[in-house]
Amino acid sequence: MISFKIHKSYRIVAAFCDSDLVGKKFEEGNRQLDLRENFYKEKEVSSEEAINIMIKQAREDATFNIVGKESIEVALEVGIINEKSIGYINKIPFALIFL
């Protein structure tokens, strides 16, 4: 399952994270992923549902914050990221995308 939340301010930020990672913190050197529930968790959806949401948000020129293996795989399938877009902290993949 994938947790997601859409933040609306001057620009839409679509946050996606593997549900099993939400609420955890990962550190490696001076870099960290702090996967706070209030940022990533509004709803939980399947990979198929996440694909549709990502496609819709990409059409809206959203900014994406994506964390976790399943979420990254969905973003690769949708085509909003490529392998070069992916970073890792403690072997946890993530990507920040500005369309």
The residue to which tokens 């990533």 are assigned: 40
* Predicted pLDDT of residue 25: 97
Domain that holds residue 35: 2-98
pLDDT at 24: 97
| Whole-number percent of the chain with pLDDT over 70 | 99
Structure-token match 């085509």, residue found: 79
Tally of domains in the chain: 1
* CB 81 within 8 Å of CB 75: yes
Q: What is the pLDDT of residue 98?
A: 85
Residue 10: its pLDDT value, please?
85
The two beta strands, 12-18 and 63-67, are parallel
Which segments of the chain have a pLDDT < 70?
Answer: 99
Containing 41, the helix (H) or strand (E) segment is none
The pLDDT of residue 64: 97
Residue 9 has a pLDDT of 85
Please tell me the pTM assigned to this model: 0.94
Per-residue pLDDT, 85: 94
Q: What is the layout of strands, in order, in the sheet containing 87-89?
A: 43-45, 2-8, 12-18, 63-67, 92-98, 87-89
Predicted pLDDT at 69: 98
Q: Which CATH number does the domain housing residue 69 bear?
A: 3.30.1860.10
